Amino acid sequence: MQAVHDLTIEGPGGDLALRVFVPHHEGAGLPVVVFAHGGGFVMCDLDSHDEFCRSMAQGVGAVVVAVDYRLAPESPAPAAHDDVYAALEWASKNAAEYDGDANRIVLAGDSAGGNLASTVAIAARDRGGPAVAAQALLYPVIDDDFETESYRLYGAGYYNTTKAMKWYWEQYAPDGTNDVRVVPTRASTLAGLPAAVVVTAELDPPCSSGDAYAERLAADGVPVRHRRFDGLFHGFLTFPTLSLTAPAREEIWALMRDALAASDHRFSEETR
């Protein structure tokens, strides 16, 4: 990285830590990725995903703003959602200080972070919040439907399990999931959301829900780049020594660059 900045902003629940990764570059106007880490809403932090964020910043060619959102069960939903939304607002106002372009913001996250990225994208649309150019949902935890095909086939013995997923949801949403800030499919429509990159893994219990969300986004008119990695498991992107991880990352970084380029093209067409 050219620079890495640890800083604290005022969040909805008090101090909110961010880590800003600035890749080597010339000039300004880099896209900005606001990134929410995975960990079942209950664990992981800036350090657990530090290497992954560095790889993303370099591979996409973007400033990455990682968010150390509040964790359950001490801070149940929608605390994490609110923190990521606050980070999005901060990035929109402060991107230029890090050579970022506030008009080219991507909301991204892996696993539980993919849930947060998706729900914050909806909130930004509904509240008239900061403009979001794209969303990147990496094996996202979309909902708490444990009866899908992937849960039936891969709910045990493939790293992530149905038992673990049920426990995570109990910690994160003890008051239920009938809230669009918790489950993005509670939204009446997904129309008008930013272009999406949706990545799923075949051997992951939440895979079917992620695939279905990509299909619903497309049905509602959202440009979608959907890639399912067959034979791989939940969380594989954060295993850098796995032989299949590096090429998968490169493919995903390219999909994110493509989504941004398409957004840039639409923006230029609209402003003519």
Does the active-site annotation cover 118?
no
Catalogue the E-assigned strands of the chain.
Answer: 3-11, 14-22, 30-36, 63-68, 100-110, 134-138, 195-201, 224-229
* Distance of alpha carbon 31 from alpha carbon 48, whole angstroms: 23
Which one of 92, 111, 118, 208 is the catalytic residue? 111
* Distance of alpha carbon 84 from alpha carbon 69, whole angstroms: 7
* Distance of alpha carbon 255 from alpha carbon 56, whole angstroms: 12
Q: What is the DSSP letter of 39?
A: S
Cβ-proximal residues to 269 (8 Å cutoff; 6+ apart), any chain: none
* Distance of alpha carbon 141 from alpha carbon 208, whole angstroms: 10
- Chain centroid offset of residue 23 CA: 19
Nearest to 25 by CA among 133, 127, 120, 99: 99
The answer to whether the CB of 20 falls within 8 A of the CB of 63 is: yes
Annotated catalytic residues are 111
